[in-house]
Amino acid sequence: MGKLVAYIIVISFIVVTFLAAYNLYQNNYAVQDINYALSLSAKALANNVNNTRSNFNNTSKGYKKNMYEESIEVDKERLLQEFYETLYTNYYNEDLYRQIKKNILIKMIVYSDKCYVAKKNDKWSPPYFFTKESGGKLIYFNSNNDLAYYYNSSNNRIYTNISNLGITEKEKQQIVIDKINSIVAQNTYGDNREMGLKIGMYNPFNIDGKYMESYSRFNVLDGLTFFIVHASDRNIFLDNKEFRYNNYTVIGYTMIHE
């Protein structure tokens, strides 16, 4: 009798383990398929730079502008429309499309000096500038050069090199990364997440070997970037127990600086 009970326990364990592994495999396969579709859809960025002379000039220069030139601008509403249309054409399945769209936590556009974020309601935020207080001043940074600026008492914009502020390129890029991550965290809090998400973004001026190995996969600072955060959460019930698989994927497209 004891052996029979032992066999039953072993068999039950094998079945539960197999089902859990199979469900995880199915989940990972589905996530790969979704990621591919999202990656294609994110390329809509390239088609949605506003058709203005300054934008075309800046595009032809590879976005290498001097400190007085304005950033190129993206038609954010049209970008979302084309992003969703491309995503839908990858499935032609209304239910699956709606489920994928529902699980997109945020969409973000990252310029060299600011970023915008849209949550599930697809309403774009005001611009978040890359800033830090220093010496009683609010300093504005640009990820694409070593210039910064602040406003004096007359509300005039004063430019300076970051070295004059005692800030290195590595520190400046980390300020930008931390700012982006703080916005991501603010906008991904809740929905069974006790704290907002943090993305491992690459700082190109951090040459530590272990750091480069861990963070070299995602760099939003190479140029104009559009990225999304997608959650593939699944609740699986086996033997009256709930298993939760959390897959958070960051997928985007960058128009590279020269």
Q: What's the pLDDT tens digit per position in 188-197?
A: 876 566 677 8
d(CA 177, CA 202): 8
Q: Within a domain: residue 14? A: yes
Strand pairing report for 131-134 and 128-129: unpaired
Region at 62 (left for phi over 0; alpha for psi -120 to 50; beta for the rest): left
pLDDT over 90 percentage in the chain: 39
pLDDT of residue 73: 87
Say yes or no to pLDDT of 253 above 50.
yes
Q: Within a domain: residue 165? A: no
Per the structure, how many domains does the chain have?
Answer: 1
Q: Which residues pair with 244 in a beta bridge?
A: 235
Q: Within a domain: residue 150? A: no
Q: Which residues, 6 or more positions from 46, have their beta carbon under 8 angstroms from its beta carbon? A: 253, 255
Domain extent for 224: 2-128+173-256
Q: Which residues, 6 or more positions from 199, have their beta carbon under 8 angstroms from its beta carbon? A: 180, 181, 184, 218, 229, 250
Average pLDDT over residues 190-208: 77
pLDDT of residue 234: 55
Q: Which residues pair with 118 in a beta bridge?
A: 107, 124
Q: Within a domain: residue 141? A: no
Q: Within a domain: residue 15? A: yes
Helix (H, G, I), strand (E, B) or coil at 251: strand
Q: Within a domain: residue 92? A: yes
d(CA 40, CA 43): 6
Reported confidence tier of residue 159, pLDDT bands at 50, 70, 90? very high
Q: Which residues pair with 247 in a beta bridge?
A: 232
User: 193 versus 63: which is more confidently predicted?
Assistant: 193
Helix (H, G, I), strand (E, B) or coil at 53: helix
Confirm if 157 and 113 have CB atoms less than 8 A apart. no
Q: Within a domain: residue 108? A: yes
Q: Within a domain: residue 186? A: yes
Q: What are the pLDDT digits (tens) for 70-119?
A: 567 899 999 999 999 999 988 777 888 898 999 999 999 999 999 999 99
d(CA 105, CA 214): 24
The whole model's pTM is what? 0.77
